[in-house]
Amino acid sequence: MPITRDDCQALDASDPLRACRARFKLDENVIYLDGNSLGALPRGVAQHVVNVVEREWGEGLIRSWNEAGWYVSPARVGAKLAPLLGAKPNEVIVTESISINLFKLLVTAARMRPDRKVILAEHGNFPSDNHIVDSVARLLGKEARFVPAGEVAKAIDADTGVVTLSHVNYRSAEVQDMALVTQAVHAKGALIVWDLAHSSGAVDLQLDGTKADFAVGCGYKFLNGGPGAPSHIFVAERHLGALDQPLTGWFGHAEPFRFDDGYRRADGVRHMLCSTPQILSMAAFEKALDAFEGVSMAEVERKGRALGDLMIELHDEFLARLGCGLATLRDAKRRGNHVSLTHEAGYAVMRALIERGVIGDFRAPDVMRFGFGPLYVRYVDVHDAVVAIADILESGAFNQKALAARQAVT
Amino acid sequence: MPITRDDCQALDASDPLRACRARFKLDENVIYLDGNSLGALPRGVAQHVVNVVEREWGEGLIRSWNEAGWYVSPARVGAKLAPLLGAKPNEVIVTESISINLFKLLVTAARMRPDRKVILAEHGNFPSDNHIVDSVARLLGKEARFVPAGEVAKAIDADTGVVTLSHVNYRSAEVQDMALVTQAVHAKGALIVWDLAHSSGAVDLQLDGTKADFAVGCGYKFLNGGPGAPSHIFVAERHLGALDQPLTGWFGHAEPFRFDDGYRRADGVRHMLCSTPQILSMAAFEKALDAFEGVSMAEVERKGRALGDLMIELHDEFLARLGCGLATLRDAKRRGNHVSLTHEAGYAVMRALIERGVIGDFRAPDVMRFGFGPLYVRYVDVHDAVVAIADILESGAFNQKALAARQAVT
């Protein structure tokens, strides 16, 4: 018997995370299933940012670098984030973007394995990651080698210095077994750089527990840090003494205000910084993390999987016969916090959905992606979204012409 | 006869830029002479940022990447900034930080001169720039060579591929003759990357007129873009087809939303982007530029020099006999928009000044730096600041012990 809307409401009523939705400002007429692309706005962020602009910048002026703690914000926010990643406070720092941080970590890791010529990466990873892999290989005179995620472990050999892959694939949502892969990497003497773009804030990460070496993550997806929120870097404590990153800006210098000629790297994870942080975006991200206060990441992961299971069940019931396909794994344990459906008219269907207030995103050529911010998405939202998709497909209420006129849905 | 406070008030009354001060929110009890480090808060920025947070992020959600123009903001803000730099709209883009942008441009320029082994830079430049020069040289197998700014022109030889120096030195405020140096660089077949950190928004730049190749600049100093505001990149139109930068993130890709495996660079200056922009900081910067509406940069430069001349005149009259020295050039035409005074107790004096509401900054070991945001600093402010310095020095109202306990004054 198919699951009903009443069943979904009952699931919401007994959801241990049900109180978290009130921590966000959400339009009741919108079903927001795109928190994997841009998380919703947590309450309190706007007021905090105004305070930073008017009080700290406008009145405190330059003094706020010390007095408002701007200067130490990358480490302070990193320490606040660390428990959500299964990391120690001194292993995480918040700065710049994923691509830039990946660049830093890949060069750093490759320099720790100078005699090994291969950087092994995931074919089918988010392309920007692989473009950075190519660039690092070119600069360092290494070889970039790409294999599908499932073949990474067996592709590691004595030439492999560094392995990088996404923990959760941006498209298929497939989750890698962090402990297992990391073990395989270490068994061959290589180092691993994880991309946590679709993991941080969505799944129960155990960076220390799985012995990960390095990781980068995203602030604006499941961590709800705001558009373009700064990224985060994880460095395992055991590597903190051996870092040697290439973007040698003053914020990673041991004593930036001595203005010495030579670069001396800061102790610890602070060396991974390069530049003056963009404070307004940093402030929004810092405040946004309050939405996770008292939240169990195990519960977040459990709910995300349950929401995904629900969407797949409803897809099988209502959408499969309308030409939709499933581009994510059925096994919830191997799936991250989004579900990708395919349809040849996917772009136009997504446009029609958005017009009805059901917001997901589209990834070329045919993927409709629905992400489940577990702090604010309800079971009933997933139900209603599937009903809307079915209705659009059945009624032909999407413009076929739009197929030819695809434009970016970020 | 020394200039009096009344004379300064008369200068303010006839100042062509006097109306601009009302465009900023400034505490009347503060004399702010640190716009070279963090510009003052323009009116309207707080409201604009709140709107971006509450309406664009909170309500528009992911749709705002297209509908609110976030996606094109780096180019849009670059085009808005371009006239202040003497550049064309398609030559400027706003992104990331100076250090990161310098890294991109140095690698790009060096790749345009593959057979030349030297990157020539300025000894005494802002150290972060030179750390980046060292890192680029190491990655590319080039030689970093450092000479004082005044010797750069004659140090260029057939081995020199790239020259980089600051247009206005962060410490001495010495201005390089952009046309002359650029000509010398080009005469030897090399390329130049200018650092405009202390120039953009302060002096009458003519990037196109001087035939500059590349430049980076700062958003949070004289452009008043807020703490850590994004930086800007200038690429001369003639080089736009030949760019090949190393931070190959998706925002510099020709078609980021096709998710192709291979990197294809975007046409034009957009290739210099790497990552998703930090939108809240970008929004503040964009709005802050309104403060320059209708302002002549020639007038800005003229006033900045006049304020500097005034401070030097008052230094000679009141401060020289109290142990102060002048660390900037007397010739206004060769001086940027700040004046550096030295005193062995400089750090403690600056602390005492700040307690009185006269805000400058301190640069180790002994430099008190006073910058003149020409849109909001008045002649009478400079007068009153010098009176305060003299009073502190005469009264010994600074704590000698503080000399030993220096801490960062950003």
Q: What is the pLDDT of residue A410?
A: 38
pLDDT single digits (tens) B212-248? 999 999 999 999 999 999 999 999 999 999 999 999 9
B287 is catalytic: no
Q: What is the pLDDT of residue B401?
A: 47
Q: Check B408 against A71: CB less than 8 A apart.
A: yes
Model-level pTM greater than 0.80? yes
Average of per-residue pLDDT values in chain B: 94
Q: Find chain A residues with C-beta within 8 A of B249's C-beta.
A: 97, 99-100, 128, 131-132
Contacts of A309 (CB under 8 A, 6+ apart): A332
Q: Which is more confident, B291 or A410?
A: B291
Q: Per-residue pLDDT for A406 more than 90? A: no
ipTM of the complex: 0.95
pLDDT > 70 fraction of chain A, expressed in percent and rounded: 96
User: Which of A182, A175, A180 lies closest to A198, judged by CA?
Assistant: A175
pLDDT single digits (tens) A107-126? 999 999 999 999 999 999 99
Q: Which of B46, B63, B135 sits opposite A354 (nearest CB)?
A: B63
Confidence category of residue B374, pLDDT binned at 50, 70, 90: very high
The three-point CA angle B87-B90-B94 to 5° equals 85
- Distance, CA of A191 to chain centre: 21
Best to test chain B binding among A99, A130, A278 (most B CBs inside 10 Å): A278
Q: What is the pLDDT of residue A166?
A: 97
Q: Per-residue pLDDT for A398 more than 50? A: yes
Q: Find chain A residues with C-beta within 8 A of B59's C-beta.
A: 27
Q: Check B97 against A249: CB less than 8 A apart.
A: yes
Q: What is the pLDDT of residue B400?
A: 54
Q: What is the DSSP letter of B145?
A: E
Q: Find chain A residues with C-beta within 8 A of B277's C-beta.
A: 228
The residue from A221, A303, A305, A363 that is catalytic is A221
Q: Check B38 against A65: CB less than 8 A apart.
A: yes
DSSP 3-state of A287: helix
pLDDT single digits (tens) A254-291? 988 888 888 999 999 999 999 999 999 999 999 999 99
Q: Check A248 against B62: CB less than 8 A apart.
A: no
- Integer-rounded Cα Rg, in Å, for chain B is 22
Average of per-residue pLDDT values in chain A: 94
Q: Check B62 against A37: CB less than 8 A apart.
A: yes
Query: Residue B318: how many CB atoms within 10 A of its CB?
Result: 18
Residue A124: both structure tokens together: 């089918």
Q: Which contacts of B148-155 are long-range, i.e. CB under 8 A and separated by 24 or more positions?
A: B148/B122, B148/B123, B148/B124, B149/B122, B149/B123, B149/B124, B149/B125, B149/B174, B149/B176, B152/B120, B152/B122, B152/B181, B152/B184, B153/B180, B153/B181, B153/B184, B153/B185, B155/B120
Q: What is the pLDDT of residue A400?
A: 54
d(C-alpha B325, C-alpha B331), whole Å: 16
B362 is catalytic: no
Confidence category of residue A181, pLDDT binned at 50, 70, 90: very high
Q: What is the pLDDT of residue A399?
A: 59
Query: Where do the domains of chain B lie, and which CATH numbers do they carry?
Result: 5-32+296-405 (3.90.1150.10), 47-292 (3.40.640.10)
User: Which of A87, A76, A83, A93 lies closest to A287, judged by CA?
Assistant: A76
Q: What is the pLDDT of residue A408?
A: 42
Q: Check B50 against A45: CB less than 8 A apart.
A: no
d(C-alpha B122, C-alpha B170), whole Å: 12
- Alpha-carbon distance B2 to nearest alpha carbon in chain A (angstroms): 31
DSSP 3-state of A164: strand
Q: What is the pLDDT of residue B27?
A: 92
Q: Check B247 against A128: CB less than 8 A apart.
A: no
pLDDT single digits (tens) A239-259? 999 999 999 999 999 988 888
B220 is catalytic: yes
Query: Residue B123: how many CB atoms within 10 A of its CB?
Result: 14
Nearest CA in chain B to A228: B278
d(C-alpha A312, C-alpha A304), whole Å: 12
pLDDT > 90 fraction of chain A, expressed in percent and rounded: 91
pLDDT single digits (tens) B119-129? 999 999 999 99
Best to test chain B binding among A32, A57, A106, A218 (most B CBs inside 10 Å): A57
Place of tokens 């499969």: A320
